[in-house]
Homo-oligomer: A and B are copies of this chain.
Amino acid sequence: MRLATLRDGTPDGRLVVVSPDGASCAPAPVRTLQEAIERWGEVTPQLAAVAAFPDPIEPMQVLAPLPRAWQWLDGSAFQSHGDLMDAVLGITKPKTDLPLMYQGTSDRFYPPISEVKFPSEALGIDFEGEFGVIVDEVPMGTSADDALQHIKLIVQINDWSLRTLAGPEMKTGFGWVQAKPPCGMAPFAVSPDELGGAWRNGRVCLDLLVDWNGKRFGAANGEPMGFGFHELIAHAARTRDLVAGTIIGSGTVSNANFREIGSSCIAERRGIEVLDLGEAKTEFMRFGDTVRMEAVDAAGRAPFGVLHQTVVRG
């Protein structure tokens, strides 16, 4: 099952069920994705029963599947990325067996095809390609094993980051506020079964193709997460109930062979350059730049559709 949210003038938009080819849709029996996730057990059979898709999808009418959420917690579960970022930011983290995670702004997720405004190019504008999951209500203390069943939908996210601000904010210990403005989201939220064998061990085992200004920049696979999404959920739920509709992110998709396959964010490439060349050569994004992100399966299909965002002056 794939779901999308269409523009209708309200902040939460209008939920639709998407056809197998991703080109058309049908109105969902509930108005919003938030409402669906709150009543998932009751609503799923109705969503799954939709078999006719009379309405063509107009890409510019597509919002983020969840245009705003009550909670967004983003992990950093790819070790090859984490190690590089620490090197480039000059951070020395204590050794821990716990996942890394921060609380991000959730009041809006930008549409898949959109212009994203930033106040200045000097802030180090960067994309971060990642995967995320949307859970129903998760009680405090839920184990990783039990968390798996709370994963109702999977999404693909562009976590916009302002690198000039990121290091200084990390050094305060308070985490990121200015360095992490709202994210973008690819068009379709998909149920785990929709990914077939590519959903395993709580991981999205797909290549995430990232193009910057029309040129391939990265093609990392989601499988080598150091923690599965179920483990990230258990971490998040240790001291709180997670509200239905909470989104949990993987952090930047990254593979150890990043020198061959590329990266899902500019900062990682810059980190590689620092290691290999002694200094970062690649600059961050400029106004007018575009980033395109598409996860593809073995058959070349894109279950989440295509995210294509343009950086503009705010």
Contact = CB atoms under 8 A, between A and B. Distances in A.
> Looking at A96, A172, A173, A243, which has the most chain B CB atoms within 10 Å of its CB?
A173
A119 interface: yes
Contact of A119 (B170, B179, B182, B238): B238
Interface in A158-194: 162, 165, 168, 170-182
Contact of A100 (B105, B172, B235, B243): B172
Contacts of A76: 174
A105 B172 CA distance: 19
B181 A102 contact: no
A314 B177 contact: no
Central interface residue in A101, A141, A162, A246, by most chain B CB within 10 Å: A101
Interface string A85-98: 00001010110100
B239 A93 contact: no
B173 A93 contact: yes
A106 B71 CA distance: 7
A16 interface: no
B101 A177 contact: yes
A218 B3 CA distance: 52
A173 B169 CA distance: 8
Nearest to A170: B173
Nearest to A101: B177
A314 B119 contact: no
Nearest to A123: B239
